[in-house]
Amino acid sequence: MTIAVGDKLPDVKLIKAGAEGNEPVQTGEYFAGKKVALFSVPGAFTPTCSAKHLPGYVDKAAELKAKGVDEIVCTAVNDAFVMKNWGAASGSADVTMLADGNGDFVKALDLTMDGTGFGMGLRGKRFSMIVNDGTVEELNVEGPGEFKVSAAEYMLEQL
């Protein structure tokens, strides 16, 4: 069943590429006790993700934090090395990049998409959510090929 407003995030392992190497992150612990603007993209360095989605959160980071967001997190079904380099290329340390390399997180959320027709395999849908102490307060899932409700500007209106 797809995650819904009011649900707790599933407790799965994501990977954060740190200065000392890859660091496992358990979502149950990581999202506890803070308000997080979480967004997911189908893939790092892909056109819409790189031109609009990530840059929107980079540009609006200060505004999101001014409205009570403690952390901004981006996930994608990519490895930690790709996510680290994509984050560095974005020019912002304000967005935490968490790799969902095996797609375990999006599978547990039931927010997967089949990108095999594009040579991308199983990926996560484009979505955003506001997570408060591990509980989903807002959930915005895009339709195929759309980019509206998961944008940083839309999330600002929800806060």
| Catalytic positions, written as ranges | 49
Residue of 128, 155, 159, 148 whose CA lies nearest to 52: 148
The closest alpha carbon to 43, from 149, 95, 139, 119, belongs to 119
* Token pair listed for 61: 């980071």
- The DSSP code for 125 is P
Contact 76, 83 (CB under 8 A): yes
Cβ(41)–Cβ(124) below 8 Å: yes
